[in-house]
Structure 1
Amino acid sequence: MGGFAYQHTQKLVMSFEMVQHTYEVNVELEQILSYLKDAETGQRGFLITKDTVFLEPYYSSRENSNNSFARLKELTINDEIQQSNLKNLSILIGDNLSIFDKSLKYANKNGTNTKGFYALLNEGKETMDNIRVLINEMITHQNELLEIRKKLSDQSLTNTPLVIYSVLIITLLLLLLTYSKINKDLKVLKKKNIQLEIFKESTNQSEIVNKHGNWTFFINENRFEYSDNLYRLLGEQPQSFPSTIENFLEFVHPEDVDQLQEDVDKMMKEENLPFIFYRVVQKNGNIRHFKAYGKIIVNNDNQKRLLGTTTDITDEVESYKLLEERNLELEQNNKELSSFNHVASHDLQEPLRKIQTFISRLEDKEVDNLSEKGILYLNRIKTAASRMRLLIDDLLQFSRTNKSEEVLEVTNMNLILENAKQELAETISEKEAKFTADAIPVMEVIPFQIQQLFINLIGNSLKYSKEGINPIISISHSIVKADDNLNLKKPKFSNYHKLTFTDNGIGFDQEYAEKIFVLFSRLHNKNQYSGTGIGLSICKKIVDNHQGYIFAKGELDKGASFEVFLPLK
């Protein structure tokens, strides 16, 4: 409160200084005008009398006006209006003094009774009038400031006694509040003590439930304290033996004693205990796995204590071992499935090649000997064999996309897109498809898989284009925030690259938007449109491999769009 009163007094002093400052500015402005008048008078006296004595006030007024101008610039440094006015005043004064010099030189050379001399006199008079007007404006501005500052000063003078008495009253109130607060804090302290007792008991129960015990190493006294449950973890009754490191080591597994002793020695030396793992053997022969951790705490008296926690992690260790066994089994099964898928696909291709070879020979050599029905059957066999080859190729492609061990690379996505279009160049040319595409920034992706994604999505648009209408395919890119897209369920990244593939094809009913990503799922008759129902499943798998999302939107006879979200890392 004393600081507040001092601040108010300083504010009062400052208001006096501001009033004085305004007077100083006005004085300097009037001084400049006076010096300029002296210079004008000295010039006229010299012109009339030709006596150089009259030039002394002319030259001295120049120096004096410069000093006053510098003083004014310093006094009004925080006033933007006056600073601007000073710049204009400087220009006018310079012009005025320049005209004085020209007039003297002209009078000496051509005399005073000439038109040229009178023109210079009129120009000097006009400049001097402008100086007077500008100085009057500046003085008016200062007078306005003076009125404001006088009001503030008077207000400060009026408020000072009130502030002083208010400070005293508030100080008394604060003393009363302090007394009340201390009394209230005593009641709270009693309540906290009760809560502490409850918390202590709750901590003991928590140790039992979570199978951990606490210990404290008093560094300055070189002694330990063990919680009750730490004894229970060792299979002993609480506080059944002195809490020393030597007694504790008697329970440690023989193979772990040396390492634990080394960790304890290091803990005492470095006053720190990172996570350590060891085993203990209870008296009944049970082996338990322990994990321990300690952190140093220094109190206000510079007393050091290492607070530690020891946890029984036997169940975690056994679960981890079981999980490892299950993972090994799963990994082996995956390898067997992958091997089976690969071998089966390749083994299927051999008889299929023979079937297609014999079909080709029948077409070349025996087609004339076949009946009309035989030719029909032959064509159906040929179509079925081609479809089976396409199915095997797609299965192999899907098998490759299941492998997520490929490393992400910083990739030029525009180049990947061009490669995909080159793969489909024949179909694009045949259907006279038109493309529009945004520039796509580089991303961290698996290049081969992303190229396959682009091929499948563009190929899908080409396949399901309208009869007799050139396909128009647009590819747009934007960066979006995960929070702004409700479709992104549990996103792992804050921002995503959004790639949208839009076409003007036959589209589809929106109710099938999720079904089309299911393996072997088809919305159209295989006789109408070729395909195996695997292409979009491959797209879904590729996007999943990149921790992204893919969504489909469609409307019958109006086209379809696919939105791909890839993480921005």
Structure 2
Amino acid sequence: MPAPTRITVQLRFKIALLVFCPTAALLMLTLLTMQNLVSDDLASVRDSSFKATTSILSEPVVEAFLEQDFARLDEFFLNLRQSPDILEGVAVDRDLKIIASADPRQLGKPFVAIGENWYTSELVVGGRERGTLWLHFDESQAKAALGNVFATGILLSTVTLLILAAVAYWIGNQLSRSMGALAQSAQRFAQGELTHRTGMKGGDEISSVGQAFDIMADQIQSNMADLHRSEQRTSLALSAGGMGIWVYEARERNVHIDDRLAELYEVHGAHDNVAVDQLLSRVHPDDAESRAAFFDEALVTDAVVSRDFRVRRTDGSIRWVRSQATALFAGTKGSLVIGIDQDITDETLRFSEIERLKDELMRSNSELDDFAHIASHDLKEPLRGISNYANFLKEDYGDDLDDTANQYMDRMISLSKNLSDMIADLLRMSRITRLDSTRHITHWQQVIEDIRESLAFTFEEKQVELTADDTLAPVTLDPAALRELLRNLIVNGVKYNESDIPTIHVGYDPAAAAFFVEDNGIGIAEQHIPEVFAPFRHLNPHDRYGRSTGLGATICQKLVTNAGGKIWITSEVGTGSKFWFTLPTA
């Protein structure tokens, strides 16, 4: 691939230059510094050496002057010319006239030092200064030797630099190959090859980067798979819910819609850049203005906004749509609004049908309540007449009738009363659903005291003990409903009781999160408990515990369920029963 190759070549030479150039510069600087230091040191040593040599050689000259041995002087200066380091030597007097030299022709002539590197030493003979010894030293050999040393250093430095360049290129090549492999892997991964990995091993830094890249690629691949599954689930959920997504660009006044909304709004062709007016043309005229203002409302409102409107389709059908939207962000394209439109036609039709049925049910309940009231009144009047006439017959002609006739009269009066009670219970049960409990907060103590007062004669006659917890929480229930519930349960606990002292307790069990009414009555067999709440069901003989309508427990169940609670029983024959129930607390 061209891009990674170009990056690799550039990186290889960059690394080589980064390694080579600073090192080469440092090596050359070191070499030049050493040359200067060595040259200075050698010059200093040479100068000292030449001075010492001149001083030493002045002693034979002084001795020859003392002995007046001029032949010895001539031989001395001729020998100086044989020295590899001395080019010329002369002795001059105080007037700088040559008094001794290897060339006799120069004697007596004025001395002129030609060139450099002349060194002098005073000639003191017999305590008096007779002149000066001048020696001309040759530096060419020393300079040549020094030049050879530096030439060798430059050669070695060049070889070192070449080796360094090769090493730097090799290092750069190794690094660039690894970096190139990383770049190539990254590019392949970016182009969609999510399964591609570098496969690098080892403990060096670049291998660690490659291994980290592979770990990152594994995580990205896993996240992409999760995202794909999430998109599939989201698409399925949107499709199942009849929903579609749209994005509104405020600056361009364009809307991007998905396939589901394109089908709903009957937008044909490309639908990733639909004009707002084109979309509004499908909205019912009565809702078009509200729908148009919906976009601006979403832009200026922090919370999610919602609006229901109708869409007119080309076949004349009307679809109800619920749109929810929120401002997304303000980017380079201006402010954006993202929203979801949901086809709620079926839901709207169902809701309309429910409302219609609800109104019909309320009307029916009202008619039924009126009927129940009228029926109970119309039925009670004949029953009262039958009961009254039976009592009149018994009072006026009871003595004239035999025992069988009197039993028939008592039976007639009892059945009339029982039927009257049953009609009253039916009327009460029909009115339970009409009690509005949500507006009432009822306290137990007052209701229990009202029941105690209304049943005072029965309690006194049967020595009933009625107790209650002091910490019963107030409930959200109509006082009449709570009074009816407790009265039925308490009356049954007293009625179906063979104890010398019937005891009734009203309490609350936090473990069960339920209220209860507990008695020490005859109890209920386990197999009969499911029958207790059935209407008109009698579990005990009338001649033993008296007649009942069979609706008391049914009324209790209806009162509890109507308040949103539930009721159940735990009982043991011969020990007593416990009626449990839940009610919403205040």
Q: Please say whether Structure 1 and Structure 2 have the same fold, judged by a TM-score greater than 0.5.
A: yes
| Cα distance per residue 1:267-326 (max 9 Å; x no partner) | 455587611122222223222222211122238989743211122222222222222222
What aligned pairs does 1:70-149 form with structure 2 within 5 A after superposition? Answer: none
CA distance in 2, matches of 1:534, 1:271: 56
CA distance in 2, matches of 1:417, 1:202: 57
Q: Equivalent residue for 1:253?
A: 284
What aligned pairs does 1:160-309 form with structure 2 within 5 A after superposition? Answer: 179-189=210-220, 207-219=238-250, 222-239=253-270, 243-268=274-299, 274-298=305-329, 304-309=335-340
Structure-2 change in CA distance of 1:336 and 1:367 (3 Å)? same
Structure-2 change in CA distance of 1:562 and 1:315 (3 Å)? closer
Work out which of the residue numbers 424, 427, 432 in structure 1 matches 2:455.
424
Shift of 1:407: 4.2
SS at match of 1:289: strand
CA contact (8 A) 2:518 2:576 kept: yes
Q: Equivalent residue for 1:455?
A: 487
CA distance in 2, matches of 1:422, 1:203: 64
Shift of 1:459: 0.9
CA distance in 2, matches of 1:241, 1:177: 44
Shift of 1:234: 1.5
TM-score, normalising length: structure 2: 0.59
Structure-2 change in CA distance of 1:385 and 1:210 (3 Å)? closer
CA distance in 2, matches of 1:239, 1:442: 64
How much is the aligned-residue C-alpha RMSD, in angstroms? 3.0
Work out which of the residue numbers 380, 383, 400 in structure 1 matches 2:431.
400
Unaligned runs of 5+ in 2: 1-202
The answer to whether residue 400 in structure 2 is matched with residue 384 in structure 1 is: no
CA distance in 2, matches of 1:415, 1:271: 50
Percent identity among equivalent residues?
26
Work out which of the residue numbers 534, 540, 557 in structure 1 matches 2:551.
534
SS at match of 1:409: coil
Task: Return the letter of the residue paired with 1:343.
Answer: I
CA distance in 2, matches of 1:232, 1:434: 74
CA contact (8 A) 2:255 2:273 kept: no
CA distance in 1, matches of 2:317, 2:542: 66
CA distance in 2, matches of 1:369, 1:441: 58
Structure-2 change in CA distance of 1:209 and 1:373 (3 Å)? closer
CA contact (8 A) 2:489 2:553 kept: yes
Aligned residues: 382
CA contact (8 A) 1:500 1:561 kept: yes
SS at match of 1:541: helix
Shift of 1:463: 0.7
Shift of 1:348: 0.7
Task: Return the letter of the residue paired with 1:558.
Answer: T
CA contact (8 A) 1:211 1:311 kept: yes
Structure-2 change in CA distance of 1:401 and 1:194 (3 Å)? closer
Shift of 1:263: 2.5
Shift of 1:358: 0.8
Work out which of the residue numbers 538, 544, 554 in structure 2 matches 1:522.
538
Shift of 1:229: 2.4
Work out which of the residue numbers 522, 525, 537 in structure 2 matches 1:506.
522
The answer to whether residue 338 in structure 2 is matched with residue 322 in structure 1 is: no
Q: Equivalent residue for 1:409?
A: 440
Structure-2 change in CA distance of 1:275 and 1:536 (3 Å)? same
CA distance in 2, matches of 1:190, 1:354: 90
CA distance in 2, matches of 1:442, 1:333: 36
Structure-2 change in CA distance of 1:255 and 1:446 (3 Å)? same
CA distance in 2, matches of 1:479, 1:505: 24
Shift of 1:391: 1.5
The runs of at least 4 consecutive aligned structure 1 residues that moved more than 6 Å come to 172-176, 299-303
| Cα distance per residue 1:168-218 (max 9 Å; x no partner) | xxxx89986554222232354456557766766776666555433221123
CA contact (8 A) 1:211 1:233 kept: no
Higher helix share: 1
CA distance in 1, matches of 2:568, 2:354: 35
Unaligned runs of 5+ in 1: 1-171, 486-495
CA distance in 2, matches of 1:216, 1:267: 12
Shift of 1:420: 0.8
Structure-2 change in CA distance of 1:329 and 1:238 (3 Å)? farther
Structure-2 change in CA distance of 1:195 and 1:367 (3 Å)? closer
Shift of 1:466: 0.8
CA contact (8 A) 2:299 2:337 kept: no
Q: Equivalent residue for 1:465?
A: 497
Shift of 1:232: 1.0
SS at match of 1:538: helix
CA distance in 2, matches of 1:565, 1:286: 49
Structure-2 change in CA distance of 1:267 and 1:470 (3 Å)? closer
CA distance in 2, matches of 1:390, 1:410: 30
Structure-2 change in CA distance of 1:325 and 1:264 (3 Å)? same
Shift of 1:395: 1.9
SS at match of 2:510: strand
Work out which of the residue numbers 557, 560, 570 in structure 2 matches 1:553.
570
Shift of 1:561: 2.0
CA contact (8 A) 1:228 1:239 kept: no
Shift of 1:509: 0.6
CA contact (8 A) 1:414 1:440 kept: no
Structure-2 change in CA distance of 1:203 and 1:364 (3 Å)? closer
CA distance in 1, matches of 2:445, 2:528: 31
SS at match of 1:502: strand
TM-score, normalising length: structure 1: 0.61
CA distance in 1, matches of 2:566, 2:281: 57
Shift of 1:243: 0.6
Structure-2 change in CA distance of 1:176 and 1:413 (3 Å)? farther
Q: Equivalent residue for 1:160?
A: none
CA distance in 1, matches of 2:506, 2:239: 61
